[in-house]
Amino acid sequence: MTTSARPPADARAPGAVRRVVMVDAVRTPFGRARKDGLYAHTRADDLAVKTVRELLRRHPQLPPERVDDVALAATTQQGDQGLTLGRTVAMLAGLPASVPGFAIDRMCAGAMTAVTTTAAAIGVGAQDVTVAGGVEHMGRHPMGFDAEPNPRFLAERLVAPDALNMGVTAENLHDRFPALTRARADAYGVRSQERYARALAAGAITPDLVPVALRDPERGWGLATADEPPRPGTTLESVAGLPTPFRPGGRVTAATSAPLTDGAAACVLAAEDVAAELGLPVRLRMVSFAYAGVDPDVMGLGPVPATHKALDRAGLTMDDIGLVEINEAFAVQVLSFLDAFGIDDEDPRVNPYGGAIAVGHPLASSGVRLMAQLARQMAERPDVRYGLTTMCVGLGQGGTVVWENPHWTGTTTREEDAR
């Protein structure tokens, strides 16, 4: 679905497609998923509630009753990540009882799918304003915990025996593409840490973070205000000797993988005309989106066909894209994307604030983190018109959203406006 076309005079006319915009996006600081991590004693749904409340606090001009739906994603929907998250989080965040909600699961692309699903509803006029996001408390709910894959997957050879292990699928990419060396992956992982550190020092990370009150039975009360996973000062020398946990003599290490992470993120979406009516800001304008499947044993290739589809639907090519936010589940997965599109490993368009290797990857929430970072970069870069957010997804999928910069200062032709 393409939402970039200029709407007719009556944007609510039957069959009209409305422009969809992202009003704002926030996230909690991300914590390490371990017994002494930031959120070891914090509920997953409470993390999601913090993000929704913060969005409402930042935008008092948005009447809560104007929110038409709340879509919240989680990969492991059990315990405090179960019970129809969108509805329960909406109630806990203080939205009126009239506001419905639902839960979504597309593994790592959960929040991205929450965004695109409700954006489609806005685009066709079924809704005006939505809240979309995701949460993952991997410390409480490890990925795949208590899941029971159908035995046909292996008996009928629908997937390779190790395709459910994301680290092994990353090693498979190294195998399939010899140009994706460990040296390149190590260099990429170090660069992610460096770019995140520079962005943090420049004040580009903190504005999108929602402080979270913490209560630890042993340490007492605290406040989470910064991401816990980053490893500042990481060097090539320090990662050269790291073990390869997914395969003896492999190439994937802790330095080239996103750490297990806890966190939540959410955003407000609206029809552009409704945002103008309510006096809401516009941080991104949606152009197109697409999802695609690949062989599960090379899961990390998913962003490539998804991006081709999204660009084709928008009538664009990668040459039109000035900024790319790609989720760094593994360095090799990013490198495979870069090679597919002929992009240099150090291209400044790609993850200028660093990525999940540094900041972490709380599975279903990461899609909105990508959008928040892209929005802040676009505000800094009015010379860039288009950007995209993309990520690989477990079991062999990829998702991509193409966005237009509302701060773009260029000019368009009549043909471009009509596209």
Residues 6+ apart with CB under 8 A from 168: 162, 246, 247, 297
Is 141 catalytic? The answer is no
Active-site pick, 108, 141, 267, 308? 108
Find the catalytic residue in 141, 267, 308, 392: 392
Q: How far apart are CA 91 and CA 96, in angstroms?
A: 7
Q: Which of 137, 141, 308, 361 is catalytic?
A: 361
Amino acid identity of 248?
P
> What tokens appear for 401 in the block?
């959203």
- Rounded Cα–Cα distance for residues 278 and 312 (Å): 33
Q: Which residue has the tokens 């505000």?
A: 379
Tokens 């991205």, located at residue: 112
Residue listed under structure tokens 């009549």: 414
- Tell me whether residue 108 is one of the annotated catalytic residues: yes
Rounded to whole angstroms, how far apart are CA atoms 105 and 210?
Answer: 24
DSSP string, 225-261: -S-S---TT--HHHHTT---TTSTT-S--GGGBPPPE
Task: Count Cβ atoms below 10 Å from residue 157 Cβ, excluding itself.
Answer: 9
Q: Clarify whether 361 is annotated catalytic.
A: yes
Residues with catalytic function: 108, 361, 392
